[in-house]
Every structure is written in structure tokens, then in C-alpha cells.
Amino acid sequence: MNENISFLIDFIREAFRGGRIFYSWMSLLTLIVLLGIFSYSRQLQEGLIVSGMSDQVSWGVYIANFTFLVGVAAAAVMLVIPSYIFNDKAIKEVVLLAEGLAVAACIMCMLFVAVDLGRPDRFWHLIPMIGEFNFPHSMLAWDVFVLTGYLFLSLTIPYYILFMRYKGAEAKHNVYFPGVVLSIGWAISIHTVTAFLLSSNVARPFWHTAILGPRFLASAFSAGPAFFLLTLQFVRRYTDYPVSPIIFRRIAIIATAALQINLFLLFAEVFTEFYHQTDHTVSAVYLFFGIGDKTALVPWIWTSLALNVAAVIILSIHPLRERDKLLNLACVMMVVGVWIEKGMGLIVPGFVPTPLGEVFEYSPTLVEVTVSAGIWAAGLMIYTLLAKAAIGIELGNVRLHSSSVPVS
């Protein structure tokens, strides 16, 4: 037990130790988090009336970020599979960082759900075993269940591996491997359940399609690894941790293949919607072309498509992908493109027009934007701290008995 406590103390100490760049970065994030808290306090005081959501468009940018981030959380599995199942030595070097990103993404997801509630004081209803669940009927109840489980797995497996390394021992394969296998299935499930949460609704034809689940996975496995790759560039630049070029190549190939599949699925969806238009196509028409003068989402979705297509072109051509700068650019485009496509471009048109044909548009208010930014900053902060401490332990800088903390 004492070893665990000294591990945690050393872990936190390592997480918060750093130079000028580290503290500037953390200060910037803290500032954004504080801004988010300030905005959220206004929302708490005045209610969701400070948001742009209405009775017609009852979910907005909060849930849009939620769906995107569930994907980022699930995407860690694309590194877990090669490293633990196929024993890919290169990927194994960074898999713990990917799991750290999954933890941060899970926490961001939960925060986004929490800030979307009208009565956040009743959030405890969603805590398994304590709250009252409409289980197994409600997909939201399932979502909370799988997200909590995934967070638990993403915390415990790296904890065990890092703890063993901290003690200078070898992590036992038999101990963590069952957890790894479980977490692979679990990662797929968190994103499938989120897709089912939307696609199970017959009232919203835009989402009521069996392809939504596969689309969610494909977009997650492109944007997630791309985001992770970008963070690895910072790790390579600002830490002593050796990130070999082969890792970037592998992750880029994973993201490329997933993005190709994602674009194909999107094309399949668009073709089916538009080949012969019915009443159910109206939401897609609104998204891509607008209805009358209501065109709020049109620039967004075309920007997203342009970014994704440009990214897939760069990534599919080997000589272009091999260039670091172009690879980074493609990853940024992919992350932003997918963020729009399955965020605002997916959640909002589901509500427009209403079943009776009324067109009400939605755009987020400043409060919603700053609260969202605050949650993103909090997530990046968590990821930075977890990654920093994990790197310190992996490099062997932090070891049991070597620290100044007395172990009794």
C-alpha cells in the first residue's frame, strides 16, 4: 500500500515539474479553464437560457463536442491493438500516452454531458449503483455505463504497467492482458453506443440509419490517431522521450485508412439521401444547401468536406505523407474536418427542420463557446499532466526509493 502512495506522490510531483515552456502552457490552459468556469457560473445562475438551444433544437455544441470526444477516447484502441495484440514494439513505446489521451477524452465527455444538463445537481442519477437508471431501455444510461467502465479500464491498465516500472519490475503479461482484451471491445462499444443513442430515434430520420455506428468508428479512428500524432510531435520536440519516426508513419497509415473509409461511408450516406429525395432528405438538404435563407450550417459542412478531402489526398500519396510538415497539416485538417462533420454537422441538422416542418436554426452563444473551450483546456491539462508523469516514469527518472519522499 505504501508503495502505491509513494508512487502516486512521485507521479504527481513529476507531472507538475517542468520548465518555462511547461508553466506557460499550463498557465494558458488555466486561464481558459477559469474563463470557462466563469461562463458556466453564469449558466448555472441564469439557466440554459444563456445558450442558443431551443425547444426545437434541444441539443447543441455541448453534445456535438461530446460525440467527437467519445471518438477520441475510443481511438486509443487503434494503438492498443497493434501494441498489445500484435506486439508492435514501436507503437508500444507510446501506447501509454494514447491511453492517457483516452482518460482525458473520457473526462471531457463527462464534463460536456454535465454542462448540458438543466439540473446538474441531479447528475448523481447517472452514477451507476447510486442513481436511478432506466436500464436497459435508455441508450443514455448505457452510454454512461460504458463510458465509466472505459475510464476505469484506461486508468487501471496504465496504472499497473507504470507502477511496475516505477518499482523496477516487469509488468506481468497475465495480469494486464485480460484487461487489455476487455478494453478493446469496450472501446468499440463506447462509440457504438453513442451512435445508437442517436440512430435509435425513429423521430429523427437524419440519424436513423444503420451506417451511423460504422461511420462513427471510422471517423473516430481517423481523427483520434491524427490528434494523438500531433501531440506526439510536441512530445518529440519538448521532452527527452525518444519517439522514433516509424511511430509517426504507422499512426499516419492508420489515420489515412480510417479517413478513406470514413469518406466512403459519408459518400454512401449522401448518395442514398439524394438519389431520390423524400421528406426524410430535408435535414441533409438543410445541412448541405440550406432551406431558403436558413443556411447557417452550409459553410461549415463544405469547409469540413474540403478539409477532409485535402487531408486524404495528402495522406494517400506516400511522398507527401512522408514530409513532416505536410503530415502535420493533414492531421490538423482531418481533426478539424471530422470535428465539424460529426459535431455541429451531425447533431444540429438532426433537429432541423422539426417534424412539422418548421425551420429553426441554432448557433452557439458566447457562453457555450467559452464553456466548451474551458472543458477542452481542462482535458488538455489532464493529458499534459498524465503524459508528463508517464514519460518521466518510462524514462526511468522517477523510481521507487530514488526520490526524496521517505518510504516508511
Partner 1 sequence: MARYVMVVDLEKCTGCQTCVVACKMWNGLGPGIQRVTVVEKEEGEYPNVRRAYIPKRCMNCKDPQCTKVCPTGATKRDDEKSVVTVDKDKCMGCRYCMMACPYNARTFYKHEQWYHEEPSAWEKKRYKEHTEGVVDKCDFCISRIDSGLKKALTPGVDPDATPMCVLSCIADALHFGDIDDPESNVSKIIEARGGFRLLPEMETDPSIYYLPKRTGNEADKS
CB 73 within 8 A of CB 189: no
Torsion of CA 91, 96, 98, 103, to 10 degrees: 160
Count residues binding partner 1 (CB under 8 A): 43
Instruction: For cell 445541412, name the residue.
Output: 287
Q: Does 363 bind partner 1 (CB under 8 A)?
A: no
Site string for partner 1, 188-227 (x = CB under 8 A): ---------x--xxxxx-----------------------
Closest CA to 360 of 283, 290, 294: 294
Which residues 6+ apart lie within 8 Å of 60 measured at CB?
Answer: 51, 52, 53, 347, 348, 362, 364, 368
What minimum distance in Å lies between the beta carbon of 146 and partner 1?
A: 13
* CA separation for the pair 369, 62 (Å, rounded): 9
Q: Which of 4, 24, 156, 354 binds partner 1 (CB under 8 A)?
A: 354
Among 168, 242, 299, 355, binds partner 1 (CB under 8 A): 355
**What per-residue string of b and e applies to 121-140 under the rule 16 or more CB within 10 Å gives b?**
eeeeebeeeeeebeeeeebe
Handedness of CA 322, 326, 331, 337 (dihedral sign): negative
Nearest-approach distance from CB 27 to partner 1, in angstroms: 34
Q: Which is nearer to partner 1, 350 or 374 (CB)?
A: 350
CB of 153 to partner 1, least distance (A): 22
Q: Can you say whether the dihedral through the CA atoms of 20, 22, 28, 31 is positive or negative? A: negative
Q: Contact, 103 vs 155, CB < 8 A?
A: yes
Q: Least separation, in Å, of the C-beta of 212 and partner 1? A: 14
Smallest distance, partner 1 to C-beta of residue 201, A: 5
Task: Please give the DSSP secondary-structure letter assigned to residue 135.
Answer: T
- Report, in angstroms and rounded to the nearest whole number, the Rg of the chain calculated over CA atoms: 22
- Least distance from partner 1 to the Cβ atom of residue 93, Å: 40
- Rounded Cα gap, residues 8 and 171, in angstroms: 17
> What whole-number distance in Å separates Cα of residue 217 and Cα of residue 196?
12
For residue 358, state whether it binds partner 1 (rule: CB under 8 A): yes
Do 50 and 363 form a contact (C-beta atoms < 8 A)?
A: no
Beta carbon of residue 194, minimum distance to partner 1 (angstroms, whole number): 13
Selected binder of partner 1 within 81, 90, 117, 285 (CB under 8 A): 117
Distance CA 290, CA 286 (A): 4
Minimum CB–partner distance for residue 72 and partner 1 (Å): 22
C-alpha cell of 140? Answer: 443514455
Q: Which range, of 25-33, 67-75, 119-127, 394-402, touches partner 1 by CB under 8 A?
A: 119-127
**Smallest distance from partner 1 to CB 326, Å:** 40
Which residues in 5-64 contact partner 1 (CB under 8 A)? 46-49, 51, 53, 55-56, 58-59
Q: Which three cell numbers stand for residue 220?
A: 473516430
Nearer to partner 1 (CB atom), residue 163 or residue 196: 196
Of the two residues 95 and 297, which places its CB atom closer to partner 1 in the complex?
Answer: 297
Tell which positions 124-153 bind partner 1, by CB under 8 A.
125-126, 131-134, 137-141, 144
The smaller minimum CB distance to partner 1, of residues 3 and 46, is found at 46
Give 51 or 183: the residue with its C-beta nearer to partner 1: 51
Interface residue with partner 1 among 213, 350, 364, 392 (CB under 8 A) is: 350
Q: How many CB atoms lie within 10 A of CB 402?
A: 12
C-alpha cell at 333: 485538417
Tell which positions 96-115 bind partner 1, by CB under 8 A. Answer: 113
Residue 118 contacts partner 1 per CB under 8 A = yes
Residues that bind partner 1 (CB under 8 A): 46-49, 51, 53, 55-56, 58-59, 113, 116-120, 122-123, 125-126, 131-134, 137-141, 144, 197, 200-204, 350-351, 354-358
